Amino acid sequence: MWLSDSRCGEIVEVVWNSCATWDTVGSIISREDRCGKYLEWWNKNVFGNVKRELEKKKKALLKAEREALHNGLNFQVRELQLEINILLDREARMWNQGACILWLSNGDNNTIYFHSKATHRFRKNSIIGLFDASNRWVDQSKTIATVLEDFYKQLFSTSCPSSMASV
């Protein structure tokens, strides 16, 4: 959500480039710590709470709509509607990111159960072998396919059709 705001990238760049040394791992870690602290401050004081800002803007919109009815000027109403749309977009992204985080942390809690059921069904539905027309056990995939094909050809064909007119 922060990446949609250009100020976030500016803060990261300024904080990251503020240290003069690049020679140690410690300097990278300290840069990362400072960057995190500045982003927390920025989130709290500049970016703001989306829900709180949305409520403020909606109240301001109601007030601006009442004023627009009296004086006929609605440019402030349009500005507030645009700001509300941006905040609603941020809120939707926030919920989407929260859902992704929950799914990544919890995953599908029933994975083992469903995997075992699918494996069991696969084993149950597998054809290991068949007896052919001469009652021989066939267990190779090509010969199983031939046995099945011959069986259904024989089942759906007839050698001596009678009363074709009724058919």
Tens digits of per-residue pLDDT, 92-135?
887 787 777 766 666 666 677 767 777 877 777 788 888 988 99
Taking residues 41-48, report their average pLDDT.
71
Query: Using CA atoms, how far apart are residues 156 and 77, in angstroms rounded to an integer?
Result: 74
pTM above 0.75, yes or no: no
Token pair recorded at residue 100: 């992704």
Query: Is there a contact between 31 and 54 (Cβ–Cβ < 8 Å)?
Result: no
CA distance 132 to 68: 87
Q: Has residue 59 got a pLDDT over 90?
A: yes
Residue 137: pLDDT band with limits 50, 70, 90: very high
**Euclidean distance between the first and the last CA atom of the chain, given in angstroms as a whole number:** 69
Minimal CA–CA distance to 54: which of 92, 28, 83, 75? 83
Sign (positive or negative) of CA dihedral 89, 90, 95, 97: positive
Three-class secondary structure of residue 137 per DSSP: strand
Q: CB neighbours of 84 closer than 8 A, spacing ≥ 6?
A: 54, 57, 58, 61
| Residue 138, phi then psi, degrees to nearest 5 | -120, 125
CA distances from 19 to 32, 42, 126 (A): 11, 19, 64
